[in-house]
Amino acid sequence: MTNEIKKVKDDLIDELDKRIGDKIIEKTNADLLKKLIEQAETINEAIMIAELGTTYKRTGFHFDKRLEKMTDTIKYFKKNEKLSFCSGQNALTHKLIVGDNYDALLNLLIEYRGNIDVIYIDPPYGKDSMGEFAQTNYENAITRDNLLSMLYPRLVLARQLLSDNGVIFCSIDDKNHAYVKGLFDEVFEENNFIDSLHWKKKKQPSFLRTHTAKVMEYVLIYGKIKSQVGKLSIEKISDSTKKVVNINNSVSLRHFNKGVRVKISGNGKIEKGKYTIKSMQIEYLNDVIYENGKTINEVDVKAQFSVSQDKIDEYIRQNLLFITINKGLRRDVSETEKDKAKSITDLLLEWGDNQDSEKEQQDIFGDILFEYTKPIKLIENLVKSTMIEDAIVLDFFAGSGTTGQAVLELNKQDDGKRQFILANTNEITDITPNGIVNDVTSKRLKRVMTGECYDGTKDFKWNEKNKPLGDNLDVYDIATVAPYSDDPFTQIDETLYGKEKLGVNEKIKWVCENFEGTQKTLKDK
């Protein structure tokens, strides 16, 4: 059994135990489901068993479940060199995954389980808006049953990706709000519901409507563990209070005890040496060894420190100091600082609207290539409200890529180090003959990040008033390989999952542990 399927099974079984305690399901029925889950061969099977055993007594509604199509092929990330680009060695690297978002989420679990700080999704909730995907997976358009069936396994995986203090935002319309909220209550539990925000999507209503003139949509908010989620606020907290190094200071030495947070996923090592971040240099005099997001050894560091050794010790004790993705140093906002900020309200009146999102597309593409996009300001403010300036932000219904641009714009405003991960199917339409990702998502990101198209042209309106937002983009396709062969061990690239290059035996072991369908143990080779 791979590590990932065991973790998913344990999580699903824990949920069944909670349902027994809440008197939602009888113990004998739950015990039978546990046995079936334990015998499941894949994550997909385990989730389907849990879904079929869900009673929805908490929420009081039922829907006819449509299950994902089963396959025994192994799906993995393969770098798309044509669409990927690098603007600088020390810049942040973001990710765009091309393919079914269910497969994308399964692969992301290998590196990012429990490490995603913010998830924003805008799922397809209109008739026929899932297009080819609906036909492939559910044999018809996106009816409500299909919407809920499609969301259930993805939310199960999304919950496992979230950090304990992470939040998920979901845009939804009034027709599906109650049903999707009920589904979220089941997956994330009702006690982790934070709020249902009202977003004004139109500047002016259509007064010709028969009954009422609608201008609002909704944004659901849930926490992984609500009690660990901080206040949501978009107030600006002074950047100077979060710096531990400053270009105006002379170089000095500080000693870091173990336990410093590291915003690089997984386990690994930062080689001792000098790292340049913008115009400042950080020198680690020892290798920095980290596991599960924290250093496990003591390290001496030279830099232009703006805080004393006592402050460094205090920040480490309070879990505030962290090493950024690009090897820099920052500290989190303290709870005291967060408490002083004003919370966002549940009425979002000046957070962008549909007209803004249309103009944003026109400025970048000269036309509207993707319908029903959300404005940058809405997503920007939602992400900003978490007050996590080095957040890893995931959007697995990426569409035109608005979430990616929103993260970049926000980093530019407050010098944040947020990283985005987007996933989207490359569906072909009349407007996007090469697929949505090829014709819209990747092109949008390339233009706003580098100031030019893939063909080198720069003649688009956005360039007239904006400077390139910078950073690097790694684009991954979801490739497939037949199971029970040597191919997975030669074709899967572990460096795309936050790992260093592995030796042959280590590579075989790692693939077997993380990808369903491969040999179960090294002995099988």
Cβ atoms within 10 Å, residue 157: 22
Better-predicted residue by pLDDT, 379 or 249? 379
Q: Could you tell me the CATH number of the domain that includes residue 111? A: 3.40.50.150
Total of domains in the chain: 4
**Whole-number Å distance between alpha carbons of 457 and 473:** 19
pLDDT of residue 435: 92
Least confident of 3-12, 42-51, 60-69: 60-69
Better-predicted residue by pLDDT, 5 or 490? 490
Mean pLDDT of 506-514: 90
Q: Does 460 share its domain with 520? A: no
Q: Does 466 share its domain with 495? A: no
Q: Does 491 share its domain with 514? A: yes
Least confident of 226-240, 276-290, 309-323, 377-391: 226-240
Domain membership flag for residue 215:
yes
Q: What pLDDT band is residue 166 in, cutting at 50, 70 and 90?
A: very high
Q: Does 261 share its domain with 400? A: no
**Whole-number Å distance between alpha carbons of 403 and 173:** 19
The DSSP H or E segment spanning 171 is strand 162-172
Domain span at residue 215?
74-236+340-478
Mean residue pLDDT of the chain comes to 85
Q: Does 129 share its domain with 254? A: no
Least confident of 132-141, 235-244, 306-315: 132-141
Least confident of 132-141, 200-209, 286-295, 496-505: 132-141
**Whole-number Å distance between alpha carbons of 155 and 165:** 16
Mean pLDDT of 158-180: 92
Q: Does 91 share its domain with 212? A: yes
**Whole-number Å distance between alpha carbons of 104 and 496:** 13
Residue type, 399: G
Domain membership flag for residue 59:
no
Q: Does 80 share its domain with 137? A: yes
Give the tens place of pLDDT for each residue, 393-434: 999 999 999 999 999 999 998 878 899 999 999 988 888 899
Domain final position from 282, 297, 332: 332
Better-predicted residue by pLDDT, 7 or 353? 353
Domain membership flag for residue 63:
no
Give the tens place of pLDDT for each residue, 439-462: 999 999 999 999 999 999 999 999
Domain membership flag for residue 306:
yes
Q: Does 417 share its domain with 406? A: yes
Alpha-carbon torsion, ordered 40, 43, 46, 47, to 10 deg: -170
Q: Does 253 share its domain with 202? A: no
Mean pLDDT of 179-186: 90
Domain membership flag for residue 61:
no
Domain final position from 279, 311, 332: 332
Q: Does 441 share its domain with 307? A: no
pLDDT of residue 316: 93
Q: Does 426 share its domain with 472? A: yes
Domain final position from 281, 311, 332: 332
Q: Do 215 and 348 meet the contact criterion of CB atoms below 8 Å apart?
A: no
Give the tens place of pLDDT for each residue, 299-327: 999 999 989 999 999 999 988 898 987 78
Domain membership flag for residue 66:
no
Question: Is pLDDT at 126 greater than 80 in this prediction?
Answer: no
Dig out the tokens for 458 from the structure. Answer: 């720069």
Q: Does 199 share its domain with 81? A: yes
Residue type, 101: N
